[in-house]
Amino acid sequence: MYVEQVDFFRGASMIFVNKIMKIGVRKSMPQGDVIFHEGDPAIRFYILLNGRVRISIGESGHVVYIVSNGGEAFGWSSLIGHRDYSASAECLEPTQLIAFDRDRFQNAIEKDPANGIILYRGLAMTLANRLLQTYKMISSDMIAESIAGPGTGQFQEPDLPGG
């Protein structure tokens, strides 16, 4: 994966991207490791290099997203001012990622606000795409629930008078 191909950094100068990448720490994590729990302090964000990470919410662990493409960012709560993570992240297989400390990252952006704006636009686009995917998933679930009959997958015909 080439960093300049990551949507998150698309359009930013290579000098800026290189500075950002220098503050990241590469990590290898085994399957089953939890990267962060919902409610933990949001002190880092991550870019997946390879592997798969399940993002889930609530005590039941409802899956809201699977991070599976190299270059995808997650743990973005730390970048938008949330004190705590809004979801949990768990490795579904051996995973390699880059972890970025929130404070060091913010410091780098403050030193280069023009590229920082480009980066945040990339973040906004990433989040917008995930939100649209979620809308599609929710709407297809709602349609399926509204047409389900009792055990047959079909509508139950109503009892009509005079019939």
Q: Which domains does the chain have, with CATH numbers?
A: 3-142 (2.60.120.10)
Name residue 162's amino acid. Answer: G
Name the stretches of the chain with pLDDT < 70.
Answer: 1-6, 141-163
pLDDT at 155: 44
- What's the whole-model pTM score? 0.75
Alpha-carbon Rg for the chain, nearest whole angstrom, is 21
Q: Which run of H or of E encompasses 18?
A: helix 14-23
Distances (CA, A) of 48 to 21, 99, 114, 125: 13, 9, 25, 17
DSSP state of 160: P
